[in-house]
Amino acid sequence: MLPFALWPASGEAPTWGVMYDFAPADTADKATLYSDLLAAADALTRDEPDPVANMANLAALIWQFLPDLNWSGFYRMVDDELVLGPFQGKPACIRIPLGRGVCGAAAASEQTLLVADVHAFPGHIACDAASASEIVVPIRHDGRLIGVLDLDSPRTARFDAQDAQGLEMLVAQIAGRIAGP
Protein backbone atom coordinates (compact mmCIF):
# COMPACT_ATOMS: atom_id res chain seq x y z
CA MET A 1 0.00 0.00 0.00
CA LEU A 2 1.28 3.46 -0.84
CA PRO A 3 2.24 5.66 2.13
CA PHE A 4 -0.34 8.28 1.27
CA ALA A 5 -3.83 8.90 0.03
CA LEU A 6 -5.24 11.52 -2.26
CA TRP A 7 -8.55 13.24 -1.67
CA PRO A 8 -10.89 12.95 -3.50
CA ALA A 9 -9.90 9.30 -3.60
CA SER A 10 -11.43 8.31 -6.90
CA GLY A 11 -12.03 9.51 -10.43
CA GLU A 12 -9.80 11.71 -12.56
CA ALA A 13 -6.75 13.15 -10.83
CA PRO A 14 -7.85 16.70 -9.92
CA THR A 15 -5.51 19.65 -10.43
CA TRP A 16 -6.92 21.64 -7.52
CA GLY A 17 -8.45 21.03 -4.10
CA VAL A 18 -6.32 17.97 -3.39
CA MET A 19 -5.54 17.04 0.20
CA TYR A 20 -2.36 15.01 0.52
CA ASP A 21 -2.51 12.66 3.46
CA PHE A 22 1.03 11.37 3.65
CA ALA A 23 1.97 9.01 6.43
CA PRO A 24 5.59 7.95 6.88
CA ALA A 25 5.85 4.37 8.13
CA ASP A 26 6.44 4.06 11.84
CA THR A 27 9.70 2.23 11.34
CA ALA A 28 13.40 2.64 11.95
CA ASP A 29 14.06 0.80 8.70
CA LYS A 30 15.63 3.36 6.37
CA ALA A 31 15.10 1.27 3.25
CA THR A 32 11.32 1.35 3.84
CA LEU A 33 11.39 5.02 4.74
CA TYR A 34 13.21 5.97 1.53
CA SER A 35 11.13 3.71 -0.66
CA ASP A 36 7.97 5.35 0.77
CA LEU A 37 9.49 8.82 0.45
CA LEU A 38 10.37 8.26 -3.22
CA ALA A 39 6.86 6.96 -3.99
CA ALA A 40 5.26 9.96 -2.28
CA ALA A 41 7.66 12.43 -3.97
CA ASP A 42 6.85 10.96 -7.36
CA ALA A 43 3.09 11.19 -6.81
CA LEU A 44 3.37 14.73 -5.48
CA THR A 45 5.40 16.17 -8.37
CA ARG A 46 4.56 14.04 -11.39
CA ASP A 47 1.67 16.15 -12.73
CA GLU A 48 2.92 19.58 -11.66
CA PRO A 49 5.13 21.61 -14.02
CA ASP A 50 5.88 24.51 -11.63
CA PRO A 51 9.40 24.09 -10.17
CA VAL A 52 8.82 26.31 -7.12
CA ALA A 53 5.65 24.42 -6.17
CA ASN A 54 7.50 21.13 -6.55
CA MET A 55 10.53 22.24 -4.49
CA ALA A 56 8.24 23.60 -1.77
CA ASN A 57 6.27 20.37 -1.50
CA LEU A 58 9.43 18.22 -1.61
CA ALA A 59 11.09 20.22 1.19
CA ALA A 60 7.94 19.74 3.28
CA LEU A 61 7.68 16.05 2.41
CA ILE A 62 11.30 15.34 3.39
CA TRP A 63 10.75 17.31 6.61
CA GLN A 64 7.72 15.12 7.35
CA PHE A 65 9.28 11.75 6.46
CA LEU A 66 12.82 11.97 7.83
CA PRO A 67 13.26 12.23 11.61
CA ASP A 68 15.66 14.58 13.44
CA LEU A 69 15.89 17.42 10.92
CA ASN A 70 16.10 21.12 11.70
CA TRP A 71 16.42 22.26 8.05
CA SER A 72 15.36 20.74 4.75
CA GLY A 73 15.49 22.58 1.46
CA PHE A 74 16.98 23.64 -1.84
CA TYR A 75 19.64 25.98 -3.10
CA ARG A 76 19.47 26.71 -6.85
CA MET A 77 22.34 27.52 -9.19
CA VAL A 78 21.69 31.07 -10.41
CA ASP A 79 24.44 32.89 -12.33
CA ASP A 80 27.19 30.67 -10.91
CA GLU A 81 26.22 30.93 -7.27
CA LEU A 82 23.79 29.09 -5.00
CA VAL A 83 20.61 31.00 -4.17
CA LEU A 84 18.15 29.93 -1.46
CA GLY A 85 15.09 28.03 -2.66
CA PRO A 86 12.02 26.60 -0.92
CA PHE A 87 12.74 25.07 2.48
CA GLN A 88 11.49 24.12 5.95
CA GLY A 89 13.30 25.37 9.03
CA LYS A 90 14.71 28.69 10.20
CA PRO A 91 15.45 31.51 7.73
CA ALA A 92 18.77 30.77 6.06
CA CYS A 93 21.75 32.29 4.30
CA ILE A 94 20.45 33.54 0.92
CA ARG A 95 23.50 33.37 -1.38
CA ILE A 96 26.41 30.93 -1.19
CA PRO A 97 29.37 31.20 -3.60
CA LEU A 98 30.67 27.97 -5.14
CA GLY A 99 33.28 26.39 -2.87
CA ARG A 100 31.98 28.10 0.29
CA GLY A 101 30.42 26.15 3.15
CA VAL A 102 29.15 22.60 2.86
CA CYS A 103 26.66 23.54 0.13
CA GLY A 104 29.24 25.38 -1.96
CA ALA A 105 31.76 22.56 -1.56
CA ALA A 106 29.21 19.93 -2.65
CA ALA A 107 28.21 22.08 -5.63
CA ALA A 108 31.82 22.74 -6.68
CA SER A 109 32.77 19.05 -6.48
CA GLU A 110 29.36 17.80 -7.64
CA GLN A 111 29.71 15.14 -4.94
CA THR A 112 27.37 14.36 -2.06
CA LEU A 113 28.88 15.63 1.19
CA LEU A 114 28.14 13.92 4.49
CA VAL A 115 29.32 16.00 7.43
CA ALA A 116 29.07 14.18 10.75
CA ASP A 117 30.10 17.25 12.78
CA VAL A 118 29.55 20.61 11.13
CA HIS A 119 31.74 22.36 13.71
CA ALA A 120 34.71 20.40 12.38
CA PHE A 121 34.01 21.38 8.74
CA PRO A 122 36.23 24.29 7.68
CA GLY A 123 34.08 27.18 6.46
CA HIS A 124 30.74 25.67 7.51
CA ILE A 125 28.03 28.34 7.26
CA ALA A 126 25.85 28.21 10.38
CA CYS A 127 22.25 29.15 9.53
CA ASP A 128 20.89 27.63 12.74
CA ALA A 129 23.02 27.22 15.87
CA ALA A 130 21.20 23.93 16.53
CA SER A 131 22.71 22.23 13.46
CA ALA A 132 25.18 19.48 14.34
CA SER A 133 25.39 17.41 11.15
CA GLU A 134 24.52 17.95 7.51
CA ILE A 135 24.14 16.26 4.14
CA VAL A 136 24.24 18.08 0.81
CA VAL A 137 23.32 16.33 -2.44
CA PRO A 138 24.08 17.98 -5.81
CA ILE A 139 21.22 17.99 -8.33
CA ARG A 140 22.03 17.58 -12.02
CA HIS A 141 19.69 17.88 -14.98
CA ASP A 142 20.43 17.82 -18.71
CA GLY A 143 24.15 17.51 -18.03
CA ARG A 144 24.44 20.53 -15.73
CA LEU A 145 24.30 21.29 -12.03
CA ILE A 146 20.97 22.98 -11.22
CA GLY A 147 21.25 23.14 -7.42
CA VAL A 148 21.65 21.17 -4.22
CA LEU A 149 19.40 19.53 -1.67
CA ASP A 150 20.52 20.42 1.87
CA LEU A 151 19.42 18.70 5.09
CA ASP A 152 20.60 19.67 8.58
CA SER A 153 20.15 17.81 11.85
CA PRO A 154 20.58 18.78 15.49
CA ARG A 155 22.04 15.26 16.04
CA THR A 156 25.73 14.60 15.38
CA ALA A 157 26.32 11.99 12.64
CA ARG A 158 22.59 11.89 11.80
CA PHE A 159 23.21 10.99 8.13
CA ASP A 160 24.90 7.88 6.74
CA ALA A 161 25.57 6.19 3.40
CA GLN A 162 22.00 4.91 3.25
CA ASP A 163 20.70 8.47 3.53
CA ALA A 164 23.12 9.55 0.81
CA GLN A 165 21.94 6.78 -1.49
CA GLY A 166 18.24 7.41 -0.79
CA LEU A 167 18.55 11.16 -1.32
CA GLU A 168 20.63 10.73 -4.49
CA MET A 169 17.86 8.52 -5.88
CA LEU A 170 15.30 11.12 -4.85
CA VAL A 171 17.06 14.03 -6.58
CA ALA A 172 17.62 11.95 -9.71
CA GLN A 173 13.90 11.25 -9.77
CA ILE A 174 12.73 14.84 -9.32
CA ALA A 175 15.51 16.88 -11.03
CA GLY A 176 13.49 17.39 -14.21
CA ARG A 177 10.50 18.57 -12.17
CA ILE A 178 12.37 21.35 -10.36
CA ALA A 179 14.67 22.45 -13.19
CA GLY A 180 12.33 25.00 -14.76
CA PRO A 181 12.45 26.00 -18.41
Residues that bind ligand SME (CB under 6 A): 71, 92-93, 96, 101-104, 124-125, 127, 131, 134, 150, 152
Burial 109-148 (b: 16+ CB within 10 A, else e): eeebbbbeebeebeebbebeeebbbbbbbbbebeeebbbb
Whole-number minimum distance, CB 131 to ligand SME, in Å? Answer: 6
Alpha carbons 157 and 135: distance in angstroms, whole number: 10
Q: Rank residues 20 and 121 by Cβ distance to ligand SME and give the closer one.
A: 121
Q: How far is the CB of 105 from ligand SME (least distance, A)?
A: 7
If the CB atoms of residues 65 and 71 are measured against ligand SME, the closer one turns out to be 71
- Please report how close the Cβ of residue 76 comes to ligand SME at its closest, in angstroms: 13
Give the whole-angstrom CA distance, residue 116 versus residue 64: 22
Q: DSSP states of 40-61 as a string?
A: HHHHHHTT---HHHHHHHHHHH
Output the smallest distance, CB 112 to ligand SME, in A: 13
- Least separation, in Å, of the C-beta of 152 and ligand SME? 5
In the bound state with ligand SME, the residue whose beta carbon lies nearer, of 134 and 163, is 134
- Residue in the shown chain whose Cβ atom is closest to ligand SME: 101
* Of 56 and 102, CB closest to ligand SME: 102
By beta-carbon proximity to ligand SME, the closer residue of 96 and 167 is 96
Going through 45-110 in order, the beta strands assigned E by DSSP cover 71-78, 81-89, 95-97
Identify residue 109 by its one-letter amino acid code: S
Comparing C-alpha atoms, which of 60, 55, 53 is closest to residue 4? Answer: 60
